[in-house]
A = this chain, B = another copy of it.
Amino acid sequence: MQVGVYGLGRFGSFWAEVLAQHFQVKAYNRNPERTTPEGVERVSLAELGECDTIFLCVAISAMEPVVRELAPYLGAGNTLVDTCSVKVYPVEVMRRHVPENVGILATHPMFGPDSAGDGLAGLPLIYWPERLDEETAAHWVDWFGRIGLRTIRMSPDEHDHEAAYTQGITHFIGRVLDDLSVQPSPIGTMGYRKILEVVEQTCNDPVQLFLDLQRYNPYTTEMRAKLKASLERVLAQFEE
């Protein structure tokens, strides 16, 4: 089986290396200067289209141009797998732009090179066989499990609702506190140290991920409005 990876950014490079330990992996990256991970063959877009399964490892906001660019090279026998941190939007983009005989598997690998530093065991991967024959779906879900991942089947809509109120809220709070320039303190309580860890973790991720998580998840607008309303209710206790 030939596996393709579109995008050799931080996650794509890491994921291509993981895949290359089990499959023949071909990768495409728009910028030719990007380093090729070990065991991976660098190919053209047309050659990428010949792979059985192609993982898209690109920013959420890049999904539409990337899928449109790749679509002419796809047809029967291809499976497209996105790896975005939101799910409704990329599934809708893939459905809209690729031929109907192309399989679609939506995934959200909830980890990256940092959190996988000690291995993949137990790390969660959300998946949804949006449009896929059972054999291919079972192959990938089995493989995710065999490399140690904890697979969770969840519809794109349910995923985005859950993600808005977990990952979305965490990143939002992290950015707000970063804007406030919270600092370590000699009298920092245990709770405050957790607050600092949230800031450190969320603000280490690229700001593009933060913006995309907020903009492309259909539930984050509601989450932000509710968060603002909660803040105002708590604040109101201290007004004159």
Chain A residues within 8 Å of B, Cβ to Cβ: 108, 110, 115, 124, 126, 152, 154, 159, 162-163, 165-167, 169-177, 179-180, 182-183, 185-192, 194-195, 197-198, 201-202, 211, 214-215, 220-221, 224, 226-228, 230-231, 233-235, 237-238
Which residues of the other chain, B, contact A167 by a CB distance below 8 angstroms?
187, 189, 191-192
Contact of A231 with B228 in the complex, beta carbons under 8 Å: yes
With A187-B159, A211-B237, A226-B180 known as contacts, the answer to whether A195 contacts B198 (CB < 8 A) is yes
Contact of B192 with A170 in the complex, beta carbons under 8 Å: yes
With A189-B110, A195-B198 known as contacts, the answer to whether A234 contacts B172 (CB < 8 A) is yes
Which residues of the other chain, B, contact A215 by a CB distance below 8 angstroms?
238
7 A-B residue contacts at CB 8 Å? A162-B187, A166-B189, A170-B195, A176-B227, A180-B230, A190-B201, A198-B198
Q: Whole-angstrom distance between the alpha carbons of A180 and B225 in the complex?
A: 11
Closest 3 CB pairs of A and B: A179-B230, A170-B191, A180-B230
Contact of A187 with B233 in the complex, beta carbons under 8 Å: no
With A170-B192, A176-B231 known as contacts, the answer to whether A162 contacts B185 (CB < 8 A) is yes
Distance to closest chain B CB from A163 (angstroms): 6
Q: Which residue of B lies closest to A220 (CB)?
A: B238
Which residues of the other chain, B, contact A224 by a CB distance below 8 angstroms?
235, 238
